[in-house]
């Protein structure tokens, strides 16, 4: 039996789902390419406050203006094409008078891109093109992992039992994520208003960082990744008994709960730091990616633990065999 990977295309995957993954991968690749270029062009802006002569300062300012225009040209396709699913999801939810994780993402992109575009046109002011491209690239990375995890689902009665369990877990997790996101959005706009009254020049950057942090990417990945690990365990051990299946279901629920609570803890810790101005938008995007990768790693830990047997059926040293998970 070949090794399981969520990145392998299942043979039973429909043509529409294959196209969905292909388009997602194209958006992801373009976002990462643009992000690396924009970060390179943003480097002169970090040298502005260094001591230098008047002539050097004038030359640096001219270079920054040029680099900002190039960054704007590179960021535009990221906002319009790479982030297109975000706009679709946010508009759909707004028409339904509801909220999802696309709403804070869209708000964060708008709050960073519009002032940056205006500052580029005016020739002065802070720009956040590197933060926008980084945010979109990291967000799409998390969503691509989630998409691959959802599509890596086997078939059969035991897989159907896990999918039924997934519906219950997803419903609970979605309710928590929605209310958690609403509270964070309210806090972000309140902090932005306070900073606008006392230090207007820092208000945009702080609010963008808080909007990036409010995106529940890791929370949205908690259930799909744990369920994908459960499906992968079944595919690796097709002779699983009903008793072992019950243990696997409990283990996947425990991992999903751990990931969900860990993601919530990350939000609770990062929001106050961003509110007082200690977290820049680019740093918020990096921590968002790290939290999503931590969720994926936690699910991978479940898969490795449940399938830690050698080809002879003996446990691998230092790891527990596939068994009923202890509470």
Cα 195 off chain centre by = 27
Give the pLDDT mean for 298-319: 64
The closest alpha carbon to 148, from 255, 290, 292, 17, belongs to 17
Top-confidence residue, 101 or 171? 171
DSSP, collapsed to helix, strand or coil, labels residue 131 as: helix
CA distance 286 to 139: 10
Give the pLDDT mean for 280-306: 85
Give the pLDDT mean for 265-281: 90
Highest mean pLDDT range out of 70-84, 93-107, 117-131? 70-84
Sorted by where each begins, the domain ranges of the chain are 15-306
Share of the chain above pLDDT 70, in %: 90
CA distance 97 to 6: 34
- The model carries a pTM of 0.73
The closest alpha carbon to 325, from 239, 226, 238, 183, belongs to 226
């Amino acid at each position: 039996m070949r090794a399981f990977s969520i990145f392998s295309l299942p043979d039973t995957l429909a043509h529409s789902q294959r196209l969905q993954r292909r388009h997602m991968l194209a958006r992801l690749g373009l976002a990462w390419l643009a992000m690396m270029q924009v970060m390179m062009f943003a480097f002169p802006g970090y040298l502005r406050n260094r001591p230098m002569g008047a002539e050097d300062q004038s030359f640096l300012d001219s270079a920054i203006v040029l680099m900002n225009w190039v960054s704007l040209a590179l960021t535009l396709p990221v906002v319009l094409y790479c982030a297109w699913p975000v706009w679709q999801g946010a508009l759909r939810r707004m028409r339904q008078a509801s909220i999802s994780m696309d709403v804070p993402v869209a708000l964060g992109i708008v709050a960073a891109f519009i002032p940056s575009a205006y500052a580029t046109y005016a020739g002065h002011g802070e720009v956040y093109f590197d933060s926008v491209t980084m945010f979109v690239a990291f967000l799409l990375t998390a969503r691509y992992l989630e998409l691959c995890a959802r599509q890596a689902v086997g078939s059969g009665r035991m897989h159907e039992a896990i999918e039924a369990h997934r519906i219950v877990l997803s419903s609970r997790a979605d309710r928590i994520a929605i209310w958690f996101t609403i509270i964070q959005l309210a806090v972000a706009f309140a902090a932005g208003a306070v900073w606008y009254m006392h230090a207007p020049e820092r208000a945009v950057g702080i609010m963008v960082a808080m909007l990036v942090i409010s995106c529940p990417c890791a929370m949205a990945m908690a259930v799909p990744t744990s369920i994908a690990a459960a499906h992968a365990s079944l595919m690796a051990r097709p002779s699983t008994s009903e008793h072992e299946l019950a243990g696997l279901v409990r283990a996947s629920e425990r991992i999903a709960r751990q990931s969900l609570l860990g993601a919530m803890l990350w939000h609770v810790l990062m929001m106050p730091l961003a509110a007082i101005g200690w977290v820049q938008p680019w740093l918020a995007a990096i921590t968002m990616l790290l939290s999503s990768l931590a969720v994926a790693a936690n699910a991978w830990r479940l898969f490795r633990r449940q399938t830690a047997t050698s080809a002879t059926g003996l446990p691998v040293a230092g790891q527990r065999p596939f068994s009923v998970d202890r509470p």
